[in-house]
A and B are shown apart, each in its own frame.
Chain A
């Protein structure tokens, strides 16, 4: 280490110590010592230290010289790997217990309504779901709860996977509005892509009308509108750019249609699915539009995915597109790390893959600065201690912290194992 760097790191250590002492909670703070630390917000730290404060926030992150607050519980994690808790941007965790049992499926508002903008996925989340601890054991600490169905499916929300009795899971304001384009969008809109876009333009026309004529509407002096009062009100946040719109679109032309519509209406777009996004990577990069993909999607399973390829992730990242990797699943979200590993296998940089399941979803789907997804002082302490490379099958999550509290890695499947082993 050269001299300025040493000085800098010393200053950092002093700062960290100051923060640690001023938090006055050092008696209950935890120091994870000796692991290889991936802060994601900065370069890899060998033989690193991560200090968790009693307030559930990260106190300090640094190298072996980082001063540990006195009274902190020191946990030796030498030889282990530490990452932020993993974040999946597009899941149904806790909204469906058993897929085929409709009474346990709350992904979809149901009914014939095409516009469900006021439908809140958060209302469906069950922190007691058996899926929650199974997912957590895979090192996933935060999921975005995404509604399905209709043309405008509703609003998604963050939930942590601390389980029952903790914070209840859901946190922060709704993260995004979800809109279906492409084959699904056209099927629900009556049979064509043009119908989908026509309905969306009419809908947004009425969002503006409703905003500007609220009083007349309340006095029943307004013309009929394209959606209900609650839905039109909910969509206002997307026009104000307080809330992004996640367009599910696969075909390159559908992605471009989403970008064009977003530009015309002044929306903040995110593209989900995006099998052919690599074909329009420059357009996406120029507008800094985040893209959520499944990196194992490489087959022309639909006509809208004829260009699907396994290096979609690598090509998007290379073009500078903010890349997010998701399982798009309810029950298999525990495999998120393997999805990232498969993206690396197909050419994505390791650090870009880790970012795509931590910081990238956290920042893209949080209005304002995200307070999780990286290991930085002041962030929520969502931390995973792995036995090795988190993308490898040989690796297990050994300790998981959510908001600073170590959570159980036990779950129903492990109980079954114990019954029958």
Chain B
């Protein structure tokens, strides 16, 4: 009976949404107030989520929590010894060097001797699209049927039951970008998720995060298509194909703008007639993704290893007037770090992976530290279902390698590689990535200094909700795939 009531309540609430919010609109609505029009109303975003599927539909119950007496590493420049961190209603209420007096309804956690950081953020993950088990039936990361698949979206490939998600959470990850793979020059759209249990990838979407786009240059696309005797089989072919695609997008953008002007003009006419309404142009979802890159609504992430290729991509970016938000892998970024710093391009890379192909031959462990010192936004990414469980350790490698080489670097700088800088690359830096009042309560309590190999995440809060508690370990795994797993099995990395 209760279940039925609950069902009715859900139906009532979903039918209560206005149609405009609930469905993806194919055409702009006829709005009466021209002032409400924003620029670029056309085309509507084809990947927009239905209102009743976005995270707000989740039942949320963020707790009021005070973490008392911890070393608070803010990733915002300061570290507070023996400080208090107060989380209220899913937000950070206070970060204090003084002990805070709180009401009885606040759960006080003794965090003395422990460390608190912002939730860790991975800019490069294939969790869900290349899940565990790694079998053909679940392999949805590369639409390797065409070198430019700008119309596809990683969100459609994500299997939320990937057991990798809960392992990543246990490693302190609170947000991650899931991207298509690197077989294609333009792989498609990437999505930023917050790490929580869900039956649909839609319910994991990080509220307020812009979409990303994955592009790739270098060895992968030319290997995949070259092997089929198709284009591109060389870096020349890759550059040419990218230019052509952006040129087509620019031409379509002109058509769209012309339509938008005509439409607005018609709409602004008080005596408009329906039969005079301009017909919309034929849509091209793939080119719309490239238009999104050019108009800045989509953040561009480019898989690119070699320094000279990063320069080449920036050259194309100048030609078509768009920005690269982050170069990924970027083994040779240290060689062009001044340029990357000046252009405001962030660099997502590993601490020390190397040698697996020619373009990964010049890796150095000091890459992150050199970038940081040069003023570029350095980021540690994982690109791995194992690595994502210990981003803090990868940052520690890069940090200590930098110190050993005599580079100027603070612990806060290195913490930003896995928090604030990653948040910036994903466009969620106003929401998360540092421990500052007003930010989302994405917080990790560590058993020891997070740059120690022995440190474990003990508590992980995502949007103020306690999503991982080591004291609840061993736990029943989330994933239905692991339903038969021994309940005494731990999932902590």
Contacts and interface: CB of A to CB of B under 8 A. Distances in A.
Given A338-B393, A344-B453, A421-B370, A301 B385 contact: yes
A296 B386 contact: yes
30 contacts: A97-B355, A98-B357, A100-B358, A298-B389, A299-B386, A300-B132, A300-B482, A301-B132, A301-B385, A303-B133, A307-B485, A309-B489, A331-B355, A332-B352, A334-B352, A338-B393, A341-B453, A345-B456, A346-B492, A391-B454, A392-B452, A393-B452, A393-B453, A394-B396, A395-B400, A413-B364, A416-B364, A417-B405, A420-B335, A420-B364
Nearest to B336: A420
A345 B355 contact: no
Interface residues of A, number: 42
A106 interface: no
A187 to B, nearest CB: 13
Contacts of B163: 299-300
B323 to A, nearest CB: 25
A393 B357 contact: no
Contact of B493 (A296, A332, A420): A296
A326 interface: no
A324 interface: no
Nearest to A296: B386
Smallest CB-CB A-B distances: 3 pairs: A341-B453, A393-B396, A100-B357
A342 B453 contact: yes
Contacts of A302: 133-135
Query: Is the contact region of chain A dominated by helix, strand, or loop, or is it mixed?
Result: loop
Given A331-B354, A393-B397, A393-B400, A299 B454 contact: no
B491 interface: yes
Interface in B401-456: 404-405, 407, 451-456
Given A306-B482, A345-B455, 16 more contacts: A101-B358, A296-B390, A302-B134, A306-B133, A307-B485, A309-B489, A335-B352, A342-B393, A344-B454, A346-B493, A391-B453, A393-B396, A394-B451, A395-B400, A416-B362, A417-B366
Interface in A95-139: 97-101, 131
Interface residues of B, number: 51
B219 A100 contact: yes
A84 to B, nearest CB: 20
Contacts of B355: 97-99, 131, 330-331
Interface in B17-66: none
Contacts of B358: 98, 100-101
Nearest to A414: B364
Interface of A: 97-101, 131, 296-303, 306-307, 309-311, 330-332, 334-335, 338, 341-342, 344-346, 391-396, 413-414, 416-417, 420-421
B489 A301 contact: no
B365 A413 contact: yes
B48 to A, nearest CB: 33
Given A100-B219, A391-B453, A298 B491 contact: yes
B44 to A, nearest CB: 39
Contacts of B390: 296, 342
B464 to A, nearest CB: 27
| Residue of A100, A310, A393 most packed against chain B (CB within 10 A) | A393
B491 A417 contact: no
A314 to B, nearest CB: 11
A369 B354 CA distance: 36
Contacts of B491: 298
Contact of B490 (A97, A301, A311, A391): A311
B370 A420 contact: yes
B362 A300 contact: no
Contacts of A300: 132-133, 163, 481-482
Contacts of B164: 299
A341 B451 CA distance: 12
A309 B356 contact: no
Contacts of B489: 307, 309
Contacts of B485: 306-307
